[in-house]
């Protein structure tokens, strides 16, 4: 029997989906590690990206940070952190957070910085404070790119979270490392299939969220789009509201 047949037989056996070491439990563990990582990374990267994008200062620093963090090898970083901090959840999550920050930071900064300058100027001309400009204009209009950064980060983390099994944690990487240790390559294939399937499902859901966040999409039209207000006709004083002038 080929490893593909063995992997398929393993995946389709209901007994392998139950229990604390079953496929269902491993998927939950993998999603837990990934979600925790992205939440922590977003809590760091999104405020920084909003600040830099709004003030239009520090772009060079942001680009340098993003490029430097992207160049770090995750497995090497994980090994270093485990040696430094010991076994447990902290070291792999910290390594994955460092992996997740660059796409979130880049997406948030690019989203805010690329909001139409005329829209921002119109908001200020209407008397909005800088906080209101950020929260009512720039964030809503940059939301697709911000969510796009989160989407990229989530996919990278899901694919890389298999390294958590390297330090004896759970998740879908358990199948890969256990299979390699036991020369059971059908288990390695099972792990690879499950990680790919999970990434595709999550990507589809996040792609839907990105689509729904685009201004003018369905019922989620952005009320903060002051471009329409800036371009709208003004009422003529002598018209009594019955006619408009441009």
Q: Total structural domains in the chain?
A: 1
- Model confidence pLDDT, tens digit, residues 178-192: 888 888 888 899 999
Radius of gyration of the chain measured on its C-alpha atoms: 24
Exposure string for 28-43, b = 16+ CB within 10 A, e = fewer: ebbbebbebbbebbbe
12 located within any domain: no
pLDDT average, residue stretch 6-17: 88
1 located within any domain: no
pLDDT-derived band at 228 (thresholds 50, 70, 90) equals: very low
Which CATH number belongs to the domain containing residue 161 in this structure? 1.10.3720.10
- Model confidence pLDDT, tens digit, residues 196-211: 999 999 999 998 888 8
pLDDT-derived band at 20 (thresholds 50, 70, 90) equals: confident
pLDDT of residue 27: 93
8 located within any domain: no
6 located within any domain: no
Q: Residue 41 in contact with residue 101, Cβ under 8 Å?
A: yes
pLDDT of residue 198: 93
Q: Among residues of the chain, what percentage have pLDDT more than 90? A: 23
9 located within any domain: no
- Model confidence pLDDT, tens digit, residues 110-154: 888 888 888 888 888 888 888 888 888 888 888 888 999 999 999
Q: Which of 27, 15, 16, 8 is nearest to 198 (CA)?
A: 27
Cα dist. 76→34, 72, 163 in Å?
A: 19, 8, 10
**3-state DSSP assignment of residue 128:** coil
pLDDT of residue 177: 87
3-state helix, strand, coil in the chain (%, to 5): 75, 0, 20
4 located within any domain: no
177 located within any domain: yes
**At residue 215, does pLDDT exceed 80?**
no
pLDDT-derived band at 236 (thresholds 50, 70, 90) equals: very low
pLDDT of residue 157: 92
83 located within any domain: yes
Owning domain of residue 132: 17-245
């Amino acid at each position: 029997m080929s490893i593909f047949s063995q992997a398929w037989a393993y995946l389709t056996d209901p007994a392998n989906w139950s229990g604390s070491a079953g496929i269902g439990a491993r998927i939950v563990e993998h999603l837990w590690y990934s979600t925790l990582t992205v939440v922590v990374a977003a809590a760091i990267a999104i405020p920084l990206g909003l600040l830099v994008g709004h003030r239009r200062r520090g772009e060079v620093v942001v680009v340098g940070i993003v490029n430097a963090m992207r160049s770090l090898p995750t497995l090497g970083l994980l090994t270093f952190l485990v040696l430094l901090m010991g076994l447990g959840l902290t070291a792999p999550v910290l390594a994955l957070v460092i992996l997740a920050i660059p796409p979130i930071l880049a997406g948030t900064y690019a989203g805010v910085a690329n909001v139409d300058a005329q829209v921002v100027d119109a908001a200020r001309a209407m008397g909005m404070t800088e906080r209101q400009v950020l929260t009512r204009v720039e964030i809503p209009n940059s939301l697709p790119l911000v969510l796009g950064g989160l989407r990229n980060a989530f996919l990278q983390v899901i694919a890389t979270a298999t390294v958590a099994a390297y330090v004896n944690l759970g998740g879908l990487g358990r199948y890969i490392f256990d299979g390699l240790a036991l020369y059971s390559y059908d288990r390695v294939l099972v792990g690879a299939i499950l990680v790919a399937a999970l990434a595709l499902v999550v990507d589809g859901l996040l792609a839907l969220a990105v689509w729904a966040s685009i201004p003018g999409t369905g019922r989620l039209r952005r009320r903060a789009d002051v471009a329409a207000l800036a371009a709208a006709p003004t009422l003529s004083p002598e018209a009594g509201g019955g006619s408009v002038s441009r």
